[in-house]
Amino acid sequence: RRKKEMVKSPLDEISGIGPGRKRALLMHFGTAKAVGRAAIEDLVKVDGISEQVAKLVYNHFHES
Residue 30 has a pLDDT of 94
Q: What angle do CA 23, 44, 17 make, to 5 degrees?
A: 40
CATH of 2-62, one of 1.10.150.20, 2.20.25.90, 1.10.940.10, 3.10.129.10: 1.10.150.20
Structure confidence by residue, pLDDT tens digits, 3-41:
666 667 889 899 989 999 999 999 999 999 999 999 999
Contact at 8 Å (CB) between 15 and 24? no
pTM score: 0.83
Where helices occur in 1-64 by DSSP H, the ranges are 2-7, 19-29, 32-37, 40-44, 51-62
Q: What is the DSSP letter of 18?
A: -
Mean pLDDT of all residues in 34-63: 95
